[in-house]
Amino acid sequence: MRNTAWCLAGCSIGDLGTIFYFQVTGTPWPVWAIMSLAIVNGLLTSIALETFILSRQMDLKPAFRTAIGMSMISMVSMEVAMNTVDVALTGGAMLTWWVVPLMLVAGYVTPLPYNYWRLKAHGKACH
């Protein structure tokens, strides 16, 4: 659960930041392109944050490899859930005060079943 929260924090920085940039600048990109870029940026910022956190426990190179090796399925599902909620509720790539919490809840809840199964399959405890 803690790892999912850290992953959500990292994903949200890149994802929400990208959407916010396009919303503020009014750059005329199609919604699918903005959301695709938001997903990529969310994955990159999540990997960067997790590398930083892990670098306190190990050297930078193994920390980066561990962050990269974390479940891409989990991260992509989190990103897709967040962006689906945004588009479904706002009709586009638009952040509003009421949609962001719903995006975050969807992003947190979506990968939990997979993460739980993965931890259980590897004999790890869920925290």
pLDDT at 127 over 60: no
Quick one: which of 52, 50, 100 has its CA closest to 70? Answer: 50
Out of 2-11, 13-22, 71-80, the most confident range is 13-22
pTM score: 0.86
pLDDT at 21 over 70: yes
Structural domain boundaries of the chain? Answer: 2-121
Cα 60 from Cα 104, distance rounded (Å): 29
Residues 6+ apart with CB under 8 A from 89: 99, 102
Beta carbons of 82 and 50 less than 8 angstroms apart: no
pLDDT at 39 over 50: yes
Mean pLDDT of 70-90: 92
